[in-house]
């Protein structure tokens, strides 16, 4: 470990930036000859959660959560409202105790069947959705609140912390209500960083910000924490935020983690249909899996390591389906939805032609589905237009119910 100029213990480059191969092989579209490297690291685990459960009365809100987070890396926990994300974060922070299971920080058990370390002894920072600054204190006093320093030493440290979150030191004199929402969130982060936590927990800290500010604040916060070598967990229900913020994404559904992996892997190789649909737009159509080809109304789509053969759901991301003058698939535009940089185009695919001499296989798809793709040129895709399409990359299949 090296010591960060701001007083943080920063992992050496080879401790935090190592990469390892993805278990289960590269994602679709990755040539075999290229070595795919995951964003995960070889750094030791900082946080280890084992079979964590939490009941409120008779309701089981966490149903056996397992999660490892490497030292100095970031994980986003994403999932629908009520899936248990905040509950998990509060158990890690030490604001509540688990009903069963274990939590270890830096190899030391902080919560378990016979262990309980209170929140203030866990070296964990927590930034809430609204920042929760003390309104009657100046920005400087808010940040200095938890510092063991006083006078000039405290003022110097407050200045350093403001610089870390990309704010001028002159802001120290202001009151929270004199700051924008994004600035308030940065001050909340500076206040949490003042205690030099080794683990930072962010509970939807950007959700109250408008779109532009949200992206800028998210980037600034992510960079600050990465540079300081602080292990970070972000809870969000916004899938694009999760995919862009973190080295690792954990998808929570109904009190369990449905999938954990790099953003690229969870987006391109979701483990099930619900995860696929939660993480972004998905084209899901009926197909017939034969070897490594999924036969469907979009043609024969290659699938890496299909879990089953026969009737399946095939999933593609809309950006994998391109309008192409000599594409092999034909379809007709049903309608469009214009939203600036791109247009969502609803296309009815041609039914699969059946040769009179070879009657249709009753198992195989008949085609004619309506799918959504995206295109930059709204004029090209007027309703009724006949289009040729092609598919790039590989599909993912899920078993037929």
Ligand X SMILES: Nc1ncnc2c1ncn2[C@@H]1O[C@H](COP(=O)(O)OP(=O)(O)OP(=O)(O)O)[C@@H](O)[C@H]1O
Residues that bind ligand X (CB under 6 A): 56, 61, 79, 81-87, 237
The number of angstroms, rounded, from the C-alpha of 398 to the middle of its chain's C-alpha atoms is 21
Neighbour order of strands in the sheet with 74-78? 124-127, 199-203, 231-236, 74-78, 248-253, 256-261
Q: Is 36 exposed, middle or buried (0-12, 13-18, 19+ CB in 10 A)?
A: middle
Q: Give, in order, the Cα–Cα distances in Å from 94 to each of 66, 123, 194.
A: 17, 10, 19
Cβ 393 to ligand X, closest distance in Å?
32
CA distance 220 to 217: 5
Q: Which is nearer to ligand X, 81 or 326 (CB)?
A: 81
CB 217 within 8 A of CB 139: no
Report d(CA 188, CA 240) in Å as an integer. Answer: 23
> What separation, in Å, do the N-terminal and C-terminal C-alpha atoms of the chain show?
51
Least distance in Å: CB of 235 to ligand X? Answer: 6
How near is the Cβ of 350 to ligand X at its closest, in Å? 42
User: How far apart are CB 251 and ligand X at their closest, in Å?
Assistant: 12
Number of neighbouring beta carbons within 10 Å of residue 85: 24
Task: Write down the least CB distance from residue 83 to ligand X, Å.
Answer: 4
Nearer to ligand X, 79 or 197 (CB): 79
Q: Please say which residue, 35 or 81, places its beta carbon nearer to ligand X.
A: 81
- Nearest distance from C-beta of residue 232 to ligand X, angstroms: 17
d(CA 315, CA 160): 49
Comparing CB distances to ligand X, the nearer of 86 and 224 is: 86
Give the whole-angstrom CA distance, residue 28 versus residue 304. Answer: 7
* 139 or 201: CB nearest ligand X: 201
- DSSP E strand boundaries for 88-209: 100-105, 108-112, 115-116, 124-127, 199-203
Our CB check for ligand X shows the closer of 84 and 140 to be: 84
Residue 38 CB, shortest distance to ligand X, in Å, is 26
Q: Min. distance of Cβ 177 from ligand X in angstroms?
A: 26
Q: Which is nearer to ligand X, 79 or 131 (CB)?
A: 79
DSSP 8-state code for residue 291: T
Backbone angles phi, psi at 164, to 5 degrees: -60, -35
132 or 293: CB nearest ligand X: 132
């Amino acid at each position: 470990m090296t010591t960060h100029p701001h007083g943080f213990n920063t992992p050496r480059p080879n401790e935090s930036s190592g990469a390892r191969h993805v278990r289960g092989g590269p994602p679709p579209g990755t040539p075999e000859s290229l070595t795919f490297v995951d964003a995960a690291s070889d750094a030791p685990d900082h946080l280890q959660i084992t079979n964590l459960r939490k009941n409120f009365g008779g309701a089981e809100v966490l149903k056996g959560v397992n999660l490892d987070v490497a030292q100095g890396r970031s994980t986003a926990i994403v999932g629908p409202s009520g899936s248990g994300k905040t509950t998990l974060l509060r158990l890690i922070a030490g604001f509540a105790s688990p009903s069963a299971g274990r939590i270890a920080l830096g190899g030391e058990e902080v919560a378990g069947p016979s262990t309980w370390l209170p929140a203030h002894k866990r070296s964990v920072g927590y930034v809430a959705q609204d920042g929760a600054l003390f309104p009657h204190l100046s920005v400087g006093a808010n940040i200095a609140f938890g510092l063991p320093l006083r006078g000039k030493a405290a003022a110097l440290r407050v200045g350093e912390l403001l610089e870390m979150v990309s704010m001028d030191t002159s802001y120290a004199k202001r009151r929270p209500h004199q700051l924008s929402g994004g600035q308030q969130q940065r001050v909340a982060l500076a206040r949490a960083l003042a205690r030099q936590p080794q683990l930072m927990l962010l509970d939807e800290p950007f959700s109250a910000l408008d779109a532009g500010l949200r992206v800028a604040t998210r980037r600034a916060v992510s960079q600050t924490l990465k540079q300081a070598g602080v292990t970070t967990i972000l809870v969000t229900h916004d899938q694009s935020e999760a995919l862009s913020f973190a080295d690792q994404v954990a998808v929570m559904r109904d009190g369990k983690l449905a999938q954990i992996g790099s953003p690229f892997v969870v987006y391109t190789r979701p483990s099930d249909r619900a995860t696929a649909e939660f993480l972004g737009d998905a084209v899901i159509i009926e197909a017939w899996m034969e070897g490594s080809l999924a036969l469907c109304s979009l043609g024969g789509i290659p699938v890496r390591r299909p879990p089953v053969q026969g009737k399946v759901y095939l999933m593609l991301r809309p950006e994998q389906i391109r309008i192409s003058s000599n594409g092999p698939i034909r379809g007709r535009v049903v309608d469009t939805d214009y939203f600036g940089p791109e247009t969502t185009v609803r296309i009815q695919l041609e039914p699969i032609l059946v040769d009179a001499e070879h009657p249709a296989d009753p198992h195989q798809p008949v085609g004619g589905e309506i799918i959504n793709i995206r295109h930059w040129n709204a004029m090209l895709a007027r309703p009724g237009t006949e289009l040729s399409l092609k598919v790039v990359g590989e599909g993912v299949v899920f078993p037929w119910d």
